[in-house]
Structure 1
């Protein structure tokens, strides 16, 4: 039975594809988490409300003037249609909310409603810092008709600290994971090329240049990286759809442009890792002596 003739650039690729696909999927999954968490943070910040309590005895004209003065501030969040995110809460509505939360009706023993009318405002994400919020508070309190501005200072600090910790942990994890992937792929491709080491030496002995020898290996490495990237992208999209199906609320957090950039980055990273790992592995065998090959 005739022996199958080896062809330069051919070597077992199943394990390489599996390892690279798994690695790219994990990196992409971290990227998806980062995108979703960033959108979630924006959602939390833009839904944080600052309360502007008003002076008592204001008439309708004064309410409208106050609304306009507040709405013109640059830190007020607006909708896509330009509508300022400001809502009026009358003292009667505030009393009902207070009674519903505390289960205590203060009007029975006070005989009147001591609460004030207020505006609840939402701010642009850029102002979600303690110093800027304090500046917003001071600016609003200078408006005629505003009695006091209140916001939860401890909550803002806590959210910002936790967000910073999450980003640091995720960034560190992604860097460590990328380093492990590169080392793993180098070792995997090097082992796969072990069966080609003697063929590489034979081609060197007949005068083939290093570039000529390396070319088919690099082509195969790039193709493997591209295939692994495509499979990883398909798996990521499937995982994202499953998550949205089980948690429909996630659909409002999607950012198609950033997700598309991430998936394109995964494809590019797959090709880059395949190219670099293959080049390093082939270059190593090109530099070995005959004794080292054996």
Structure 2
């Protein structure tokens, strides 16, 4: 009995699924408009999410490049500077050390500034030796601040510099973006539920006579509910697919300018499309919203329609 009924059960569901799709095709203009509204509502937070992930990628590169600059006292010779750099490299909270002599610092400044004549007129080199330090911890502010204080207290160090405020601002911007996208996604998801719920409500009201006849001949609420749930299923699934295509078109539109911009800055940044992840998540999320909205609408109005 189980082996006989189970295929029949899935066959009935397949029939209702195709019937619901056929119902949508009978009103193409209204169906397309509803699907487009759902697709745009899903594409907006998805696009902002992809944008945030790309910003975090860039921010991660900046964060990885966060450095502590140790400006040594002018009377520190190169031998002592290199020895100090080797000692600092042995510290467990320091991952990399780069020593720049006063002569190297002057040469770099000369190349960047183009002030050759002014620099040649100076009686002596005004730049001190510098040690560039890459901390192991770049996310924990307390750890970086503690390392900065220890370095500042060293005898040979004149100034230890790190822009802590910049790191705080960067992390705050990322957190604000995540919070904003979450709120926007929640509001737009609710709007999708309302759109699908209202569409299903109108479909129920337009088929009141049919529903009363079905109930009159013994049709259960589950039997009546099924085509409406599959209608929400198709709305959500197609809306998610439209959202994915919208996201693809948007990324294609901005990929060229971003590539040219990064080339101007000699950056290795490449746009993360995340289309594989979105190809699965957007239709599935749209499907979930579609079925949920249809279920809420049917549950609200179906019990009010009874044969008289």
TM-score range, shorter chain: 0.7 to 0.9
State the alpha-carbon separation in 2 of the partners of residues 251 and 193 from structure 1: 55
Q: Note the aligned Cα RMSD (angstroms).
A: 3.4
Contact persistence 2:41–2:192 (CA under 8 A): yes
Select 1:246's aligned residue among 252, 257, 274: 257
- Once the two structures are TM-superposed, the CA of residue 154 in structure 1 deviates from its matched residue by 3.5
Which residue in 1 is equivalent to 2:184? 173
Provide the secondary structure at the position in 1 that maps to 2:207: helix
Q: TM-score, structure 2 length as denominator?
A: 0.73
More divergent stretch after superposition (68-77 vs 200-209): 68-77
* Deviations, residues 140-174 of structure 1 (Å, cap 9, x unaligned): 45778655421123333433444443333333333
Which of residues 35, 38, 46 in structure 1 aligns to 2:64? 46
Residues 181, 59 of structure 1: alpha-carbon distance in 2 compared, 3 angstrom cutoff = same
Pair 1:108 & 2:121 matched: yes
Give the aligned partner of residue 42 of structure 2.
24
Distance 1:213 1:68, change over 3 A: farther
Q: Structure 2 vs 1, CA of residues 166 and 289 (structure 1 numbering), >3 Å: closer, same or farther? A: closer
Provide Cα deviations, 1:180-231, integer angstroms capped at 9, x if missing partner. Answer: 2322332233224432232222211111111122223223322332222122
Secondary structure of the structure 2 residue equivalent to 1:116: coil
Query: Residue 153 and residue 251 in structure 1: after superposition, are their counterparts in 2 closer, same or farther (change >3 A)?
Result: closer
Distance in 1, matches of 2:222 and 2:305, equals 18
- The one of 281, 284, 288 aligned to 2:297: 281
Residue 70 to residue 185, structure 1, CA distance change in 2 (3 Å)? farther
Which has the larger displacement, 183-192 or 26-35?
183-192
> Does the 8 A contact of 2:241 with 2:283 survive in 1?
yes
Change (3 A) 1:20 1:154: closer
Render the CA deviation track for 1:9-34: whole Å, top value 9, x for unaligned.
43543333222112121221122122
Distance 1:138 1:251 in 2: 33
For residue 164 of structure 2, what is the aligned residue in structure 1? 153
* TM-aligned CA distance change 1:71 to 1:263, over 3 Å: farther
Change (3 A) 1:160 1:219: closer
Cα shift readout 1:117-143 (whole Å, capped 9, x = no counterpart): 21223445x524542321121344577
Alignment partners' CA distance in 2, 1:72 and 1:183:
61
Structure 1, unmatched stretches of 5+, are 1-6, 78-83
Contact conserved, 1:8 with 1:217, CA < 8 A, in 2?
no
Equivalent residue runs for 1:35-184 within 5 Å: 35-54=53-72, 56-59=76-79, 63=82, 65-73=83-91, 75-76=93-94, 84=96, 86-98=97-109, 101=113, 105=118, 108-109=121-122, 111-123=123-135, 127-141=138-152, 148-184=159-195
How far apart are residue 76 of structure 1 and its match?
A: 4.7
Shift of 1:253: 4.7
The alpha carbon displacement at 1:276 in A equals 0.7
Instruction: Report the CA distance shift for 1:224/1:160 in structure 2 as closer, same or farther (over 3 A).
Output: closer
Q: How does 1:212-223 map to 2 (within 5 A)?
A: 212-223=223-234
**Among 199, 210, 213, the residue aligned to 1:199:** 210
Contact 1:53-1:119 at 8 Å conserved across structures: yes
Q: TM-score, with normalisation over the residues of structure 1?
A: 0.76
Partner of 1:81: none
